[in-house]
Amino acid sequence: MGIENLHKFLNTFFNENQCQVEQQTNEDLTIQLSPELDEQLMNRPFYWQYMKKMGLEGEPSRLYLTVNPNKKDEDENKYEFIHFGSPRLQQIIQILLSKGKYVKLYQSIITTQHTPLIPWLVLNIKISYIGKDKKEVLKSIGINMVNGAIINEFIHAIRDIQWGVKISDFCYTLTPLIQVKHSYQRIMQLVEEMLQQETHEWAATSWGKMEKEKNLLKQFYQSEEDSYQNHYQKELEAIESIYQPKIDISIVNGGMFFITQYTSFKLLNS
């Protein structure tokens, strides 16, 4: 799963989501939840619906978590054991995934001059090659929404840049000349062009394997009665679903990145 220290991960998660970690040890956490996380974690939909309808703030719950399966506390069952694979941890991971789909970040700089930030649309794209053998490739592509310049492997290009969720003092954002929709279309067009330039030996191999399996199946059923045709058709469809080569393109996540003109120039010429 990629989480080495669960206790540290939980502490960071709740702090970053405006919850107050009131007490902690090496194993335990007592968290005063924010209203947003109470709604997402504590399964009290009717309570929050009523509070909102009445115009009241509501009282978020406290959450008591421990990574120690043998935890003994004065209040029986007050602490909830959380571990890899536990429903509570899965809830938290789903929250992270939903929030991580889209980001808006600004390059953090220190300046005393009015500095424009150029908007870039960035898409992290998963390309799945599906057939006899399966392979997945990740592409990170960014497009300058002012002049249309495109950078492949964008995430690697910006790894040394400092980012913030708020715009730095004396900075302002330029209005995109290329709309988000058209920026998205240009990136996807580039991906399709890249795929068309590939040789795709894997697809030819997979197609040959599929035809071989279909011929064997046809020979097996050719002397059978019509009553077996349904079985034949189902097995034929199963073979095609396994071996017929195809490429699936999906968006993992993306966002808007606002970068200084100087940095944008360096990225394009690096």
Q: What's the length of the chain?
A: 270
Tell whether the model's pLDDT for residue 113 goes beyond 90: yes
Q: What is the mean pLDDT of residues 142-146?
A: 96
Segment 240-257 shows an average pLDDT of 90
pLDDT for 227? 64
How many CA atoms are closer than 13 Å to the CA of 20, on its beta-carbon side? 6
Q: What is the per-residue pLDDT for 2? A: 43
Determine the angle formed by the axes of helices 6-16 and 87-99, rounding to 10 degrees. 50
Q: Please report the pLDDT score of residue 59 as a whole number.
A: 93
d(CA 226, CA 232): 10
- Per-residue pLDDT at 266: 85
Pairing of strands 115-130, 171-173: parallel
Q: Is the pLDDT of residue 1 over 70?
A: no
pLDDT at residue 224 in the model:
57
Question: Rounded CA gap, 160 and 148, in Å?
Answer: 23
Give mean pLDDT, residues 229-252: 88
Residue range 214-229, pLDDT digits in tens: 898 888 777 656 667 7
Q: What is the chain's Cα-based Rg?
A: 27
pLDDT in tens, 191-215: 999 999 999 999 999 999 999 998 9
pLDDT computed for residue 3 by the predictor:
46
The DSSP line for 206-270 is HHHHHHHHHHHHHHHHTTS-GGGHHHHHHHHHHHHHHHS-EEEEEEEEEEEEEEEHHHHHHHHT-
